Amino acid sequence: PQAIHLSDYRPPAYRVTHTELTFELDPSATRVKARLHLERHPEREAGEALELDGEQLTLKSIALDGQVLGEDEYRLTEQGLRIESVPASFLLDTEVEISPEENTALEGLYRSGGMFCTQCEAEGFRRITFYPDRPDVMATFSTTVVGDAASLPVLLSNGNPVERGELPNGRHFVTWEDPHPKPCYLFALVAGDLNKVEDRFTTMSGRDVTLQIWVEEENLGKTDHAMASLKRAMRWDEETYGREYDLDLFMIVAVNDFNMGAMENKGLNIFNSAAVLTHPDTATDAAFQRVEGIVAHEYFHNWSGNRVTCRDWFQLSLKEGFTVFRDQSFSADVNSAPVKRIEDVSFFRTAQFAEDAGPTAHPVRPDHYIEIGNFYTLTIYEKGAEIVRMLRNLVGWEAFRRGSDLYFSRFDGQAVTIEDFVTCMAEASGQNLDQFMLWYSQAGTPEIDAHGEYDYARAEYRLILRQRTPATPGQSDKQALHIPVRLGLVGTKSGRDLALTLDGESLGRDAVIHLREDEQEFVFTDLAEAPVPSLARGFSAPVKLNFPYSREDLAFLLANDSDGFNRWDAGQRLALLALDDLIAAHRNGVEKVMDNRVVDAFRTLLTSDTDDKAVLAEMLTLPSEAYIAEQQPLVDVDAIHAARQFVKQSLAVTLRDEFLAVYQANLDDVSYAPEPDQIAARSLKNVALSYLMSIEDEEGVALTQRQFEAEHNMTDVRHALTLLTHSSRDDLADPALKAFGQKWAHDPLVMDQWFSIQVSRPQADALERVKFLMDHPAFSLTNPNKVRALIGAFAQNRVNFHRLDGEGYKLLADVVIKLNRLNPEIAARLITPLTRWARYDETRQELMKAELERIRAEDLSPNVYEVVEKALA
Ligand code: B3K
Ligand code: ZN
């Protein structure tokens, strides 16, 4: 496979102004007729050949301006179709045959259960018909779907239905028209025996929009939350960004087999059923919030992605980074904003930092790729969103909103670049963002080494910041970035943010300083007391910030920092310092001793009167094993697990009464609602229960069992089941798993949770359970949700995936090899944990590399090839 380079971009030789499609649906032999209205691109010369993408298509007929083409007038290759000579403007008619039922890659047109559906982003449309499959070709579409009336009563596509009717042989058709020019990656078709839930929304200019969620009959009771989320998102985008919906109909369809979470096809969003269906009995609070976020994300794409799209796939973060930023802001506005930020940052620092530090590290705008499907990454999405967040903070919300308005009006209906977006922000704010653009081209996580000194005599605090970005594959020399550092100086006597004066300018008590050089010194004057600095508040830039805090400093910040995010972070840092000692003790075989400063800090948290239960729950949560691992020079999975468990149990033993009181104070029997207050109380209660259960005393066990048996809502039931399953006692785990498995055997989304819970248990039988469950009737290798729930979850089981006999790695490689043929996109994603081999001891390194070599010896899809080559480079 060959790499494609950003520097080779050229506009298409021909563009399509209008596309007419007719589908005659059949599981093994679907016919697709396409009539393309083509014209030469004004920037390209006359006489160039027409090249269309096409894969796995059987061409049945082809005609140019009505003239059937002879076999010497076009050429077919593995990648597409080429016509040497064409006029400046013409019609091209093709008819192809495809086989949806054999499509296990789930790209293009495929079957999911009894339905037909599509996934075209990034390059799936070329598996439907011959076409210039690139985002800078935007056309209006008119689509006729023909299918069997009995088995496929519902026939959907983008835009508005304009005609429908009966056909001979029990068939029927519907014609859809989408008036908004769009790239083919936003095309969608769904056909099946579906039921709809309908609602209405009146836009800010008073237009009436019909909202529909289409599901299989058994899921009709699971759409309320998605519908409510959609309406909230539509209103929010009007109020916050001034963006209004632009068709009369907005549809969401739930499908069971889907590679990603969801897809923003124009007017017809297609969702993984896991990302849209909820019910208090079957979905956790986290799932409710995830659904709300994804529904909003896909809806927001209607502007940031669809009306204004990407010129080429190197610009993917243009739509994804901006849209993730928008959905994060939305979720923060409708839920607990500080908790949303804590959750997003914990996830980011664990998973994106690891990506940045590994062999697949890439810039937010990559400059080359082999398979674009491999670039739907945390870097493109989440780091891209952090960059947009920095922009918003740099220019301020008002200028950012003006920049956004400018972007949408200037580029409406166009396919553009990241520069186009940033230029609008620069114009709207009058700021120079040239150095800032480096964030898009430079990979790796910047590190800031900070230190400070207080000079009593001069009443000054001297803060020195040094930045460096480690080398990443293909990028050894890094330049200094423009890093906004939001900070406060917390007075050690007053416990308050001190007034900040820098170079004679007064900045208030919470300010942003700008690090632009490799090293910079900032001298804050007129400080009457010594401060502890609170740095990078709210995670003001996606960097690692090192400061030589003492444990006393951290305990002080945990108690006094006015920034909730940094208060949480101080607690995490304090716990990490204690964990470091315990990890070392475990490795050296010496007795582990608990740090009392952590115990004291927790006691204070547990007994403090707080009205923010959601944040308290986060503060009481220890850093995850994955995040602890991120902080270690070399990952010792067993020591990390043992150290964390020791901290948890020590806290539970010492603070048992406090945890119990918190648990009891937050019990509730009100009827379930996914509302912030209830969610906060549940998470606080469940954190307390985790501690109580960690020591497995009688009361902890009894409370957990009672919570499990009460079946009040899935959040509580799932949490209790996890605690029972992850306990040391199979007599607790087995009956609970059995009861749950029997009760929910009919519900695939609940069975996914059942799979994940048991294969993530720390007990030594986790791997055997995976093997056993792979034969379970509810498991299927061709369903991505099942693969993620069983295999993906096991690969996150730190202790057992990294077994010293290498069996965990072997199992993953076996699955990757099978999926390489069935579903390359999922296969390539699944390899990720193996690509991180350099972080482990030599024995594990060798075992992991051996499995990567074994994969490499196969006949590989471009997706898997690209990842494995990078991992072994
Ligand atoms: N844009 C889709 C991603 C689909 C990619 C599939 N290879 C989902 C989203 O970001 O909204
Ligand atoms: Zn997206």
pLDDT-based confidence at 42, cuts 50/70/90?
very high
**Atom in ligand 1 nearest the alpha carbon of residue 301:** 11
Nearest CA to ligand 1 atom 10: 320
C-alpha 262 – ligand 1 centre gap (Å) = 7
Cβ-contact 737, 722 below 8 angstroms: no
d(CA 564, CA 549): 18
Residue 38 is predicted with a pLDDT of 98
Taking the centre of ligand 2 as the mean of its atom positions, its distance from the CA of residue 407, in whole angstroms, is 18
pLDDT higher than 80, residue 556: yes
Residue 418, pLDDT above cutoff 90: yes
What percentage of residues in the chain have a pLDDT greater than 70?
100
Whether 320 lines ligand 1, by a CB cut-off of 6 Å, is yes
Q: How far is CA 7 from CA 3, 314, 433, in A?
A: 12, 10, 22
Query: Residue 667: which of 658, 675, 678, 656 has the closest Cα?
Result: 678
CB-CB contact of 662 with 669 (8 Å): no
Q: In this structure, are residues 363 and 441 in contact, taking their beta carbons and an 8 Å threshold? A: yes
Establish whether 298 is a catalytic residue: yes
pLDDT exceeds cutoff 80 at 247: yes
264 lines ligand 1 (CB under 6 A): yes
The arithmetic mean of pLDDT across residues 756-776, rounded, is 98
Residue 610's pLDDT band (cuts 50, 70, 90): confident
Which residues 6+ apart lie within 8 Å of 233 measured at CB?
295, 296, 299, 300, 330
Strand partners, 576: none
Residue 668 pLDDT: 81
| Residue ID of nearest Cα to ligand 1 atom 6 | 121
Judged by its nearest atom, the ligand closest to the C-alpha of residue 183 is 1
637-654 vs 676-694: helix crossing angle, rounded to 10: 100
Ligand nearest to the CA of 376: 1
pLDDT single digits (tens) 427-460 = 999 999 999 999 999 999 999 999 999 999 999 9
Average pLDDT of the chain, as a whole number: 98
Q: At what angle do helices 418-429 and 384-395 cross, to 10 degrees?
A: 10
Exposure string (b/e) for 167-203, b if CB count within 10 Å is 16 or more?
eeeebbbbbbbbebbbbbbbbbbbbbebebbebebee
How far, in Å, is the centroid of ligand 1 from the Cα of 298?
9
Averaged pLDDT for residues 224-243:
98
User: Which atom of ligand 1 is closest in space to residue 298's alpha carbon?
Assistant: 11
pLDDT of 405: 99
Q: Give the burial class of 163: count Cβ atoms within 10 A of its Cβ; 0-12 exposed, 13-18 middle, 19 or more buried.
A: exposed
What phi-psi label fits residue 555: left (phi over 0), alpha (psi between -120 and 50 degrees) or beta?
A: alpha
Tokens of 421: 């977006």
Query: Relative to the CA of 373, which ligand 1 atom is closest?
Result: 7
Pocket flag, ligand 1, residue 569 (CB < 6 Å)? no
Ligand 1 pocket test target in 121, 271, 301 with most atoms within 8 Å of CB: 121
For residue 121, the CA-to-ligand 1 centroid distance in Å is: 6
Q: What tokens appear for 559 in the block?
A: 């108690």
Cα of 310 vs centre of ligand 2, distance in Å, is 12
Quote the ligand 1 centre to 347 CA distance (angstroms). Answer: 19
Atom of ligand 1 nearest to the CA of 376: 5
92 beta partners: 36, 64
Note the pLDDT of residue 198.
Answer: 98
373 CB within 6 A, ligand 1: yes
* ipTM surpassing 0.95: yes
456: Cβ–Cβ under 8 A, 6 or more apart, which residues? 530
Residues 463-516: pLDDT tens digits? 999 999 999 999 999 999 999 999 999 999 999 999 999 999 999 999 999 999
Mean pLDDT of 321-349: 98
**Alpha carbon 445 to chain centroid, angstroms:** 18
* Ligand 1 mutation pick, 320, 327, 377, max ligand atoms within 8 A of CB: 320
- Secondary structure class of 14 (helix, strand, coil): strand
pTM of the model: 0.99
- How far does residue 629's CA lie from ligand 2's centre (Å)? 29
The DSSP 8-state label assigned to residue 329 in this structure reads H
Is-contact 318 421, C-beta < 8 A?
A: yes
- Residues 513 and 485 sit within 8 Å (Cβ to Cβ): yes
544-546 and 519-524 strand pairing: unpaired
* Phi, then psi, of 147 in degrees rounded to 5: -160, 170
- Please write down the HEC assignment for all residues of 195-214: EEEEEEEECCCCCEEEEEEE
Structure tokens, 484: 């906004």
The answer, yes or no, to whether residue 611 has pLDDT greater than 90, is no
> Is the C-beta atom of 263 inside 6 A of ligand 1?
yes
Measured from the CB, is residue 297 less than 6 Å from ligand 1?
yes
What's the pLDDT tens digit per position in 148-192? Answer: 999 999 999 999 999 999 999 999 999 999 999 999 999 999 999
Mean pLDDT of 401-414: 98
Provide the angle, in degrees to the nearest 10, between the axes of the packed helices 285-300 and 676-694.
140
pLDDT grade for 670, boundaries at 50, 70 and 90 = confident
Task: Decide if pLDDT at 609 tops 90.
Answer: no
The amino acid occupying position 131 is Y
Give the list of residues 6+ apart from residue 687 with CB closer than 8 angstroms, or none: 617, 620, 621
The ligand whose atoms approach the alpha carbon of 825 most closely is 1
Contacts of 244 (CB under 8 A, 6+ apart): 203, 204, 205, 207, 237, 238
Three-state DSSP class for residue 78: coil
pLDDT tens readout for residues 794-836: 999 999 999 999 999 999 999 999 999 999 999 999 999 999 9
What pLDDT is stored for residue 669 in this prediction?
77
